[in-house]
Structure 1
Amino acid sequence: MTTIDTPEKTVAPRPSRTPKPRRRIVVEGSAKHRGIQALSALLVVLFLLWAASQPLFRVGQFTNVFIIAIAIVGLNLVTGYTGLLSIGHSAFFGLGAYTTGILITKYEFAPMSTIPVAVVLSFVVGLAVGLPSLRIKGLYLALVTLAVGVSFPEIVRRAEDLTGGATGLVIRSRFLAPPEWTGLVRAERGIWMFWLSAVTLMLVMLLARFLVRSRFGLAMMASRDHEIAAAANGVNVARTKILAFGISGAITGLAGSLFAQYIGALSPDGSFTLLKSIELVTGLVLGGIATQIGPVVGAFAVVFLPYYTASFTSGPLSGVVFGALLIAIVFVMPEGIVGRLTLLSRKVVTFLPADHPSRRKGERPPEEPT
């Protein structure tokens, strides 16, 4: 009997895979999460103390950043979380500013007491502007808000007896002195406005955080993602849209009120034209739409990027450099600066709510697609 020898099959060794680094899981409300929050709060306080010790010109730039960030937070609520594109938020900004200016110069209100009036008035106007969102959306709604933003400076010019018309409205510095309880004199108004704007920004960001995480916030995002499905699940889409516009207008009007106290001189051709709306939209896109820290990062971008590009170049070339830089940022980071950083950080650490299903079952959350 003959035997036939068959060649042995050689199995190529499998290439060794480098194991992916496991992401760290941080549960909200845990000791580790509270430690991260405490460290973040400490860093914010240290930054504010450092910024307040800078020269007066730099302190003024930071104050401007805080005020613009408040306005972008308002825009983020209606555009980022509700999905309603608005290009007329300069009108709310100007309404809050002129409300404060008129109440101080014409009726001798204390500057701080004008803020609630400006917020309420901007809220009511925001509700009215939000009415067209019940029937139209997308670019058509953007055109309506654009008309509101374009018409505001013309309304200010027409109401010359109240607003000062084209010549503007000047608030004398004696009316804008810091409150007596601060211990600051009139010459230190810049420091007072710095801290007032910084504290207001933090309060507004906390308010926006709680609002987004509430039932109303879920209704806003559901209306943004799929109106029909949201309505089928019991969401009052019409009320959600109108209230979102009202709250957004109120927050932006609050920023305008602070701006009037900070700048002390209002003009319809100054900071309340369509360019202010474009500035707010630009800051929202650069920072990151529908992100919590995005408005602050976007405000830093729209304030400091033009300043530094103008310091490197002069004349019209500085505008070209600034525009090219914006295009590069949007091209490289379409999610915005904070959006891209969030995606990168999720590869290292993941924050989970305490009631996440994977925590109840003791399982690891699914890996994100690469």
Structure 2
Amino acid sequence: MSTSPTLVRRNSPLHLTLLAVGALVVVAAIFWGYGLQDFNRGQVTRVMIYAVAIAGLNIASGYSGLISVGHSAFFGLGAYTTGVLVVRYGWSAEWTIPVAFVVCFVAGLIVGLPALRIRGLYLAMVTLAFGVAFPELIGRFDSFTGGAEGLTIRNRMLRPPDWTGFKLGEKDKWLYWVAVVVLLFTMLAVHNLVRSRYGLALVAARDNEIAAAASGVNLAVAKTVAFGVSGALTGIGGSLFAMYLGTLVAGDSFTLLSAISLLTGLVIGGQATRFGPILGAVAVVYIPYYTSDIGQGQAAAVLFGAVLIAIIFVAPEGLTGGFFRLFHKYVVLVPSVAGRTPALRQLKPDPTPEPAAVEELAATRKSN
């Protein structure tokens, strides 16, 4: 016997209670991750790094509908921006994050220019070419990037700032909190962006370009800026990845396989969803880890592919979409009616008309 879901109005006491419980769960999860052993804490840090990168990809491929299979280049560009500034110029690692954001934003604008003329698979081929060419470009500038030998960031170069209270050997703990702050900032920024007029314009252009243009949406600006913001957020993830990994080799860490991992995480987590990047990052990090324990070599790859197919089959809209589909069977969030009651009363017909109105109606009938 099916039961009707519980209706929860926005900003009602029950809604605010649910939000408070959700916030407490997030805080508890953050401190739980920090209390893990070094290896397990490092895995959680890697999940947050990939979640930031996938959130950037979600702007382009999820909310904008622009297929990109070359975001590994933005990921690598952000990583090498941090690596070069730290190793060659002695910058503090945390100050390279905003620089990586700006550099990758400009690169995203440039790569997004073809989106003004082409779309679909043709655009995917352009971004694919950018992703494939990135390791070759890194090799050309070996005096800065280290070329095929790679670029190594020493632990002393990643020393936590003195004001944090962490020592040199506690770099991993410091990086964990940096990843937490960056991830929370990214999720908040994406949330506000999607709810803004620009975010609505992106979704409208994705669903129907002709209707969006007729409504006044500047498609050129919307698409180009979307690629810029997408590349910038993914570049921030790359900057954190450089601090996490320490050794950068473009031919190993930023290849087409890395781009496929980001796309896989987006599809598994759920496109155009707020929490999809986090769940997708969990899948990208932990599924290969556990399948490698079960099988080795090609067997692990087959198991990994089988698990991905099973997830997509069970939840074709992604893990986030599947969760909310199940959640809405029991709880449905409805808009608040505060301030709308007078308008509703005005639309409601009055069952007792005024005497003057009755007399006027009778006079009209008599004249007819």
Q: TM-score, normalised by structure 2?
A: 0.91
The verdict on how the C-alpha distance between 1:356 and 1:219 changes in structure 2, with shifts beyond 3 A counting, is farther
Structure 1: which amino acid aligns with 2:153? I
- Counterpart code for 1:68: Y
* 1:322-337 map, 5 Å: 322-337=304-319
Mapped partners of 2:24, 2:9: distance in 1: 21
Query: Does residue 155 in structure 1 map to residue 137 in structure 2?
Result: yes
Change (3 A) 1:123 1:316: same
Q: Which whole-Å CA distance do the structure 1 matches of 2:321 and 2:340 have between them?
A: 24
Provide the rounded CA distance (Å) in 2 between the counterparts of 1:357 and 1:23: 25
The separation in 1 between residues aligned to 2:11 and 2:189, in whole angstroms, is: 19
Identity %: 52
**1:25-64 CA distance string (max 9 Å, x none):** 2222222222111111111111111111111011111110
Give TM-score, length-normalised by structure 1.
0.90
**1:365 corresponds to:** none
Alignment partner for residue 311 of structure 1, among 278, 293, 296? Answer: 293
Alignment gaps of 5+ in structure 2: 346-368
Counting matched residue pairs gives 344
- Alpha-carbon deviations, 1:108-150, whole Å to 9, x = none? 1111111111100100000011100010000000000000000
**Matched position secondary structure for 1:270:** helix
SS in 1 for 2:225: helix
Instruction: Give the match for residue 90 of structure 1.
Output: 72
Are 1:351 and 2:353 an aligned pair? no
2: distance between equivalents of 1:308 and 1:361? 57
Distance in 1 between residues matched to 2:340 and 2:329, nearest whole Å:
18
1:166 aligns with 2:148: yes
Alignment of 1:244-323 (within 5 A): 244-323=226-305
Residue 175 of structure 2, aligned match among 193, 204, 227: 193
- Distance in 2, Cα, partners of 1:237 & 1:282: 27
Distance, in Å, in 1 between the alignment partners of 2:294 and 2:80 is 35
Query: Aligned Cα RMSD in Å?
Result: 1.6
Q: Name the counterpart of 1:38.
A: 20
Distance in 1, Cα, partners of 2:276 & 2:155: 33
Q: What secondary structure does 2:8 align onto?
A: strand
Residue identity in the other structure for 1:47: A
User: Are 1:208 and 2:190 an aligned pair?
Assistant: yes
| Match for residue 179 of structure 1 among 153, 161, 186 | 161
Give distance in 2, aligned partners of 1:361 and 1:335.
37
Per-residue CA deviation, residues 65-114 of structure 1 (Å, 9 max, x unaligned), is 00000000000011110000100000100010000100111111111111
Question: Which one has the bigger helix percentage?
Answer: 2
Residues 146 and 224 of structure 1, relative CA distance in 2, 3 Å threshold: same
Which letter does structure 1 place at the counterpart of 2:48? F
Instruction: Say which is worse superposed, 115-124 or 309-318, in terms of deviation.
Output: 309-318
1:123 lines up with 2:105 in the alignment: yes
